[in-house]
Amino acid sequence: MSDAQQSVSPAIPEVAISNMPTTGLRGDYAHMGADYTTAQNWDGYSRAEHRLWARLYQRQARIAERYAADAFLAGLHHLNMPMDRIPRFDQASETIHRRTRWQIVAVPGLIPDDVFFAHLSKRQFPVTVWLRKPEEMDYLVEPDVFHDFFGHVPLLTQPVFADYLQEYGRKGAEALDMKATRLLARLFWYMVEFGLIKSADGIKAYGAGMLSSATETAYSIDSPIPNRIMFRLERVMQTDYRIDDFQSTYFVLERFEDLFNAMRRPFAPIYRAISSRAPISADAIVENDIVVHAGRR
């Protein structure tokens, strides 16, 4: 495993699991409801787990201060989450609900696509309850509470992004019907897990995958190796991605409204037009790309 691989956290986002394994997942799926929700059981976290959260939080908050988009930092500020212990989902939900009418629902871990889409469409964000082990500080296969909470929850306080995520969930059923979840999942991967956005102060990171990783945030912004290309919906939907290494291409938003506006387009004609085309490889630059930075390999 390379250094880069060790720093990719997590390797798998919730929605990339079109064929979710039914065994081998580390969460407790025995005590959940039909919608895969469970209790956070905050009192069940050990002191060692709270200390590990504190180490993760302090490391990532320093990285975010330098590299994260203002909207993400504003979300962290609004959440006012404790640095020294795992946050209580019910308290965070109250804060988020006041701002955007979203709430957190606790889940055992990865959940099937249809359940994930249904939660998002109801403005419910599934957050895994378990925390990684100390030896997994830098690498994790399944998303844990730190990835889901620190990475995803801050942007739920931002109205435009919050509305975008609900629209994403609403589009899920159609994608399942049209067997196009692979195309829709690329939108989640590139624009929720690994998205960049322009700012007056240069390009900033807002994706949960990079902002919960020890080193991919800096890589996504500072490294000359990856491509940075302006967001176009069809382009993103056609582009393969890496699950075992840093991304070869990051897509850049001008503003969050561009993402929400893209979701207002009917997706069925787009699926029909592009589903039979060969995917664009993860490191390619293609015609009509607006290239912010051409990667050096």
Give the footprint of Fe ion on this chain (CB under 5 A). 13, 208
In the complex, minimum distance from the CB of residue 224 to Fe ion, in angstroms, rounded to a whole number = 27
Nearest residue to Fe ion, by Cβ distance, number only: 13
In the complex, minimum distance from the CB of residue 13 to Fe ion, in angstroms, rounded to a whole number = 4
Which residue, 56 or 271, is less far from Fe ion as judged by CB? 56
Which residue, 96 or 208, is less far from Fe ion as judged by CB? 208
- Token digits of residue 82: 């404790």
Beta carbons of 145 and 129 less than 8 angstroms apart: yes
In the complex, minimum distance from the CB of residue 188 to Fe ion, in angstroms, rounded to a whole number = 8
Which residue, 106 or 271, is less far from Fe ion as judged by CB? 106
- Token digits of residue 54: 């504190």
Alpha helices in the chain (DSSP H): 3-7, 47-67, 70-79, 89-100, 113-121, 145, 159-177, 181-188, 208-211, 216-222, 233-237, 256-263, 268-274
Which residue, 13 or 154, is less far from Fe ion as judged by CB? 13
Nearest partner of 132 among 122, 123, 142, judged by Cα? 142
Helix (H, G, I), strand (E, B) or coil at 250: strand
The C-alpha R_g of the chain, in whole angstroms, comes to 18
Which residue, 128 or 271, is less far from Fe ion as judged by CB? 128
Q: Alpha-carbon distance 238 to 280, whole Å?
A: 6
Which residue, 14 or 163, is less far from Fe ion as judged by CB? 14
- Give first-to-last CA distance, the chain, whole Å: 20
In the complex, minimum distance from the CB of residue 152 to Fe ion, in angstroms, rounded to a whole number = 6
The one-letter amino acid code at 121 reads S
Which residue, 13 or 27, is less far from Fe ion as judged by CB? 13
In the complex, minimum distance from the CB of residue 294 to Fe ion, in angstroms, rounded to a whole number = 28
In the complex, minimum distance from the CB of residue 245 to Fe ion, in angstroms, rounded to a whole number = 17
Nearest partner of 126 among 144, 147, 106, judged by Cα? 106
In the complex, minimum distance from the CB of residue 266 to Fe ion, in angstroms, rounded to a whole number = 26
46: which residues sit within 8 A by CB, 6+ positions away?
Answer: none
